[in-house]
Amino acid sequence: MGAGVEHALGLPVLYTFRRCPYAMRARLAIVAAGLQVEARELVLRDKPAHMLEISPKGTVPVLWLQDGTVIDESLEVMQWALQQHYPDAWLRPTAEQQQQINAWVSTLDGPFKHHLDRYKYPNRYNDCDPLPHREACVNMLKQWDVQLQNMGQTCNSPYLLGGQPSAADCAVLPFVRQFRIADEAWFDGASGFEHVQAWLYRFLNSDWLANAMPKLPLWAPGAEPTRFPA
């Protein structure tokens, strides 16, 4: 093991990148669970050797536990955090609701992310018109809009599974937020998914999201360790 990569704070180590929705998903769960980790913020074009050593696929998040266990999928980091402590104010999904969450996550990590990347970064793809990809994302947002509308019939401030947040909101939020960032003026003025807009705006103004999105110093071996959340 290289120098400077030990668990300096005696906490799990999280390799992360602030803007990555997968890493954001992990940080949101860690904050919600009331946990702390040692955060190692990186630049994706200059990935630390230690991170690549323990997780050769080279994507974030990567969680390195004190016993050497490595968790390098965002949903598994979420599950780890929520197993340590499930937030008292969160709804616990039923088996049927968990199946629904799994279906939403498959949509997010598959077709939604495919179209989101081509909408937000069209120059990275040959002959890419971003607008059809934006429309494809909107069609998926409308499915969640119907879900939120249905939940709103029984509560004033609906979340995806009812009147309380849950792992579903934690998994979906980073991707809808990134979709808005691609063109905030368009998103804010668009119609057809008003319930999703209201749901997102409530999170954008929340302490939960603010605590999951601090600007962290870039990490390098030997650097002063960073506690997250602070």
pLDDT tens for 208-226 read 999 999 999 999 988 999 9
d(CA 227, CA 41): 11
Which one-letter DSSP state was computed for residue 210? H
The CATH number of 13-88+210-228, from 3.40.30.10, 3.40.50.1000, 1.10.10.2120, 3.40.1440.10, is 3.40.30.10
Distance CA(77)–CA(12), nearest Å, equals 11
| CATH number of the 95-207 domain | 1.20.1050.10
Q: Give the residue among 137, 157, 138 at the shortest CA–CA distance from 148.
A: 157
Sorted by where each begins, the domain ranges of the chain are 13-88+210-228, 95-207
Closest CA to 63 of 83, 47, 40: 40
Residue 117 binned pLDDT confidence (cut-offs 50, 70, 90): very high
Query: Tens digits of per-residue pLDDT, 186-216?
Result: 999 999 999 999 999 999 999 999 999 999 9
Q: What is the pLDDT of residues 128-152, one digit of tens each?
A: 999 999 999 999 999 999 999 999 9
Predicted confidence (pLDDT) at residue 45 exceeds the cutoff of 70: yes
Provide mean pLDDT across the span 86-114. 96
Backbone dihedral region of 165: left (phi > 0), alpha (psi from -120 to 50 degrees) or beta?
beta
Q: What pLDDT does residue 154 have?
A: 87
CA geometry: angle at 25 spanning 74 and 228, to 5°?
100
Confidence of residue 5 (pLDDT cuts 50, 70, 90): confident
Would you place residue 1 in the very low, low, confident or very high pLDDT band (cuts 50, 70, 90)?
A: very low
Decide whether 13-88+210-228 matches 95-207 in CATH topology: no
| pTM of the complete model beyond 0.75 | yes
Under 8 Å CB-to-CB from 85, ≥6 apart: which residues? 33, 34, 35
